[in-house]
Amino acid sequence: MPRLSLQRLPRLFGALVVGAILGFLLLPAIVVALAAFNGRAILSFPPDTWSLRWFVKALAYEDFRAGFRNGLIVTACASLIALVIGAAFAFVLDRYEFRFKRSLETVLLSPLVIAHFTVGLGFLILAAQLGVARGYAVVIACHVVLVLPFVLRSVYVSLRNLDRRFELAAASLGASPGRVLATITLPLLLPGLVSGWLFAAILSFNEFTASLFVTAQRTQTLPVAMYNYVREYADPSMAAISVIYIVATAALLTIATVFLGLGKVLSVEQTR
Amino acid sequence: MSKPADPGPACPAVAVRLDGITKHFGEVVALHEVSLHVRRGELMTLLGPSGCGKTTLLNIVAGFLAPDAGEIAIASARVTDLPTYRREIGMTFQNYALFPHMSVASNVGYGLRARRVDKSEIAGRVAAALDLVKLTGLEDRKPRQLSGGQQQRVALARALVVRPKVLLLDEPFSALDRNLRGAMQVELREIQRKLDVTTIFVTHDQSEALSLSDRIAVMTEGRIRQLGSPDDVYRRPADRFVASFVGDVNVLRARLERRDGRTATVVLGAAHVTVPSGPLDGAAPGAEVDLFVRPEDLRIADGDTAVVAYGVVAAQVYQGGHVDLHVESPQLASTRVLLRIPGQSAITRWPVGTRVDLALATEEAVAFI
């Protein structure tokens, strides 16, 4: 018997380590979530009285409501534009051989290595220089640049995994290139396109650093509104809006997983 | 052999004409001035080891690849510069390439929708095609819900329903297990004959080629080495490569006795064998030649006939319908000689270690210098 428990020790230890890591990952979210239910007007953990009033306040706060609206507009536009541009470039990179192909790929993926701070500052200077008002267009353009690499990668990987013989078979059956694209390529790429778009949308909606530079009072997105709020107040409505944020994103992801899971089943093939 | 007689540009008997097709991949020559005329309604097999250029040739007929030089015509119309979707072909792929997001019926109807055929007509033709391949009742299944054999049938129905001018089959049976393969081969041949559809069939499996084809083009290193009926290719191989690639063969040491016009006589022990003299050009009487003899063309002598050599049985392999005897005969060949004896009696008559006299069961064979 003692031998048995000795053998179990490494497994127990392993389970503890994994548990600790998982706990550590979730810790910030848990702390914030609990802080949101504080009955008093301070951000503390754990709270000693409980209330929902900060949720009410956060939802009613005009800056947050405007930030949410602005964020949705920017996210919707930026992720769609990035999806179209990214998918087009992914096609070019996957299907064609040309000089400077590597360079093009490097440039397209470069926002990954350039700090958001730098991108935001760059757009700010540009907008000022060109005399462009800091409206939605600048914010959206900035977000497109930031999320493009993710869309590009996602669609590119899906394209790489797409068996070209589906397209060849369609062509052999008399389908024109446009028809092949519409009836074979795009439907089979759908999971990659959706996950790329989703990635872009979440990144754009959460983007803060660059947005801080390029938004104005009228166009500020939710993270910027939250930052401006926390600079002046330190009550738990910050935590409440964070919880709403997490729940909304998680819901979106869950829906997407169900949908994407379905998409993957649809495109399962490649028996060999 | 690789350049058949020109039947004229508009000859209706030729369904697919390939003239002087050359294709390079970088430095590698995949096809070297290949010419091939496929007759209407014929099942033409491109047979060869992997890398011989047979798949490249098929892809050029399909329009997936463009040749560096040469011309392609389908049904007397030049298609060299025509894209795949305007060539009116049907093709099946090694992995079938059934569209995973479509039902069986949608897969089969795809080519008809691409041709903007009437909806009512599509339904009828899809049903007929599925009936042809015996898949009626599976219309609503998705490809992943089908067995390998069923997927193969869907692929065939999908390619045939458009009434292609030529049907291209790329190793269609390689993914099937052995029993199913045999049944599918017979069925394919029946369907092909029934519809009288010109077919180009690519395979590396020589027994498949021999049993299915009207004619076989044996390819290696980007060239057609021999074009002929299965019997031609098997009985009268044009060169060493064809002789050893198509079917099992024994290479035996023999001596050239004399050449008279188109034939020559070769002596093997006490036996005289008639061979085509073409491959022996330049050999003087008395010269040593390699005689290629099929395993079924050798037998154990009964004391009655001309013995070619003696040997010792080294191994027996029971094959069900026949027995393979591996015989050591240093006189004949440095490797073991293979005999294929019908029935099972060989197992008991000539156990391992028996000394046997070998004789020929044929008077015709081929020899090469």
Q: Which residues of B touch A165 (CB under 8 A)?
A: 93, 95, 97
Q: Does the N-terminal peptide bond of residue A46 adopt cis geometry, omega within 30 degrees of 0?
A: yes
Residues 6+ apart with CB under 8 A from B227: B1, B2, B4, B36, B215, B216, B217, B218
A181 falls within a domain: yes
- What confidence category does residue B2 fall into, taking pLDDT thresholds of 50, 70 and 90? very low
Instruction: Answer whether B100 sits within 8 Å of A177, measured CB to CB.
Output: no
- Closest of B225, B212, B169 to residue B36, by C-alpha: B225
Q: What is the DSSP string of B44-73?
A: EEEE--TTSSHHHHHHHHHTSS--SEEEEE
Instruction: Give the span between the Cα atoms of B216 and A228, in whole angstroms.
Output: 80
**What pLDDT does A123 receive?**
92
Instruction: Answer whether A269 sits within 8 Å of B143, measured CB to CB.
Output: yes
Mean pLDDT is highest, among B228-232, B244-248, B326-330, for B228-232
**Chain B CA closest to residue A186:** B101
Q: Which residues of B touch A188 (CB under 8 A)?
A: 100-101
Kindly report the average pLDDT of chain A as a whole number.
Answer: 86
From the number of C-beta atoms within 10 Å of its C-beta (0-12, 13-18, 19+), residue A20 rates as: exposed
A147 falls within a domain: yes
* Least confident segment among A39-53, B18-32, B94-108, B309-323: A39-53
- What confidence category does residue B33 fall into, taking pLDDT thresholds of 50, 70 and 90? very high
A217 falls within a domain: yes
Contact B357, B310 (CB under 8 A): yes
Architecture in CATH of B14-242: 3-Layer(aba) Sandwich (3.40)
Q: What is the DSSP string of A168-207?
A: HHHHHTT--HHHHIIIIIHHHHHHHHHHHHHHHHHHHHH-
Q: Is the pLDDT at A133 greater than 90, yes or no? A: no
**What pLDDT does A260 receive?**
65
Task: Domain count for chain A, please give it.
Answer: 1
**What pLDDT does A268 receive?**
42
- Per domain, the residue ranges of chain B are 14-242, 249-368
- Closest of B60, B56, B109 to residue B83, by C-alpha: B60
Q: Which residues of B touch A177 (CB under 8 A)?
A: 83, 85
Token pair, residue B107, equals: 């897969």
- Can you tell me the mean pLDDT for B257-273? 84
A180 falls within a domain: yes
Q: Is the pLDDT at A110 greater than 90, yes or no? A: no
**Chain B CA closest to residue A179:** B114
- Can you tell me the mean pLDDT for B199-208? 91
What distance in Å separates residue B219's CA from the closest CA in chain A? 24
What distance in Å separates residue B264's CA from the closest CA in chain A? 49
- What confidence category does residue B11 fall into, taking pLDDT thresholds of 50, 70 and 90? low
**Chain B CA closest to residue A270:** B95
Token pair, residue B254, equals: 């023999």
Instruction: Give the span between the Cα atoms of B13 and B3, in whole angstroms.
Output: 17
Token pair, residue A95, equals: 């299907």
Instruction: Give the domain extent around A160.
Output: 62-267
Model pLDDT for residues B178-197, shown as the tens digit of each residue? 888 888 889 899 999 999 99
The reply to whether B116 touches chain A by the CB within 8 Å rule is no
The reply to whether B114 touches chain A by the CB within 8 Å rule is yes
Instruction: Give the span between the Cα atoms of B266 and B291, in whole angstroms.
Output: 8
From the number of C-beta atoms within 10 Å of its C-beta (0-12, 13-18, 19+), residue A231 rates as: exposed
**What pLDDT does B12 receive?**
60
Contact A267, A188 (CB under 8 A): yes
- What confidence category does residue B256 fall into, taking pLDDT thresholds of 50, 70 and 90? confident
Please name the member of A166, A179, A187 whose beta carbon is closest to the beta carbon of B97.
Answer: A166
What distance in Å separates residue A158's CA from the closest CA in chain B? 15
CATH of the domain at A72: 1.10.3720.10
